[in-house]
Amino acid sequence: MKVVIDLCVESDGLMFKQLAEKLTERGHKVLMTARQKVNATDLYRYQGLNPHIVGKYSKTLEGKLRESSLRIYKMAELIQRELNGLDAIVSNTGVEACRVGFGLGAKVHTFHDHPEAIHQMLLTIPISDYVYYPWTIPKSKYLKLGLKDENLFPYKGFLTASWMPTLEIEEDVLDKLGLDSKRKIVVFRESEVGAAYLFGKRDITVSAIKLLAQRMKNVQFVARPRYSYQMLNGYFKDLDNVKIFPTPIPLQSLLAKSDLLIGGGATMCLEATYFGVPTIMCRQINSPITDYLAKMGIAYNANTTTDIINLTEKHLGKRKSNKAQKIHEKMDFPLNQLIENIEEA
C-alpha cells in the first residue's frame, strides 16, 4: 500500500516515527511530509526523520490561506510523482493532508485532540474516514459533524502515550546542557499564539518567567523556542539564570530531571506530568487535555502572570511521581488499531 504521513506539529515526529517503521517493515511504501517551520524541521532531523518539506508555516490569516492552498497543490504533485497514487494518508488534524487525501480518493486517518480549534476541526473531521481521539472528548462533537460510530476510534490515552513509555532517559543530560544539578531547574514553553485558534490571545508565560528569574536568582530557567530564538533570547539577555537553546535538545530527558514546567502548550505538559514534575499550564483557552490533568491533581491551570508566580512558589520541586505514574500507566495509544485500519481499507 502507498501511505503518506504528514507531520503537522513538532510532537508528530516521535508519534509517527513508530508508525512509519512498522508500515515499512510490513512492506508498505511510506512517504513522510512536513512544512518548513522554525524550530520544527530541525527537530525532525534530530529525531532521525527525513520528511519531504512541502510548504511553509505562516502566522497571519492571509498567509495561512495562501500557504495552505499552495501546499495542497504541492503535496498532490509530490504524491503523484513519488508514489503514483495514494491509498491512505495519516495526520494530526492536518488541513492539507485531509484535503489531499480526500481529493485523491485515499482513506483519511486523522488524530484529533483539540476541539478548541473549531475551524481546523470543521476543515478536517467531516472529510476523514477514521478519527482517533482521546476518551476525554465527547463523541457528540464528531457525530454532529456527520461522522458515524464506525468512523470513530476513542482511546484511553493521549498522543504522548505513543512515545513516552519507550523513551530512554539520558542520565547525563544536565552535564551535556551545562546545567547545575545542585540548583533547581524550571523548564518553560511559550504559548502557541501563532496558531489561528489563539489569535488575539496574549502569551503570559515569558513575562512571568522574567519576573520569576529576577526574584529567584539561584533557579535555572530553560527553554527551547517555539518561534524565534533571537527574539526569545533577546528578551532574557540581561538574566544570567535564563538559558535559551537555539538547536534541538533531549527535552524529555531534561524534563525528567527538572523541578517544574511552566507550559504554554499541552504536549509538554503531558510529558512533564509523566515524570510527576509539577506542571503549570498557561494555555489561554480551555482544553479537554489540560482540564483532565488539572482534575487529576497532577497539573495546575494559570490564567494570569500572578497565578504563575504564586503556583511556582508553592509547587517548585514538589513532585507527584507515584500519583502520575498510576495515571499514565493506564493510558495507551491505538497504533495497532491504526495499522489494522490502514491495511483493511
- Helix, strand, coil shares of the chain, percent, nearest 5, are 45, 15, 40
What pLDDT does 262 receive? 97
Residue written as grid cell 512571568? 208
The residues of the chain scoring below 70 in pLDDT are: 193-201
Which residues is 5 bridged to in the sheet?
32, 90
Predicted local distance difference test score (pLDDT) of residue 93? 95
User: Which SS3 state, helix, strand or coil, does residue 244 take?
Assistant: strand
- CATH 3.40.50.2000: which residues of the chain? 2-156+332-344, 167-328
| Per-residue pLDDT at 286 | 76
The three three-digit cell numbers of residue 179, written as one number: 546545567
Looking at residue 166, the DSSP 8-state letter turns out to be: G
Residue 194: the pLDDT is: 60
Alpha carbon 224 to its chain's center: 14
Predicted local distance difference test score (pLDDT) of residue 277: 97
pLDDT of residue 304: 93
Q: Look up the CATH number of domain 167-328.
A: 3.40.50.2000
Q: Give me the pLDDT at residue 198, please.
A: 57
What is the pLDDT at residue 61?
A: 86
The CATH code for residues 2-156+332-344 is: 3.40.50.2000
- Give helix 321-328 / helix 266-274 axis angle, nearest 10°: 110
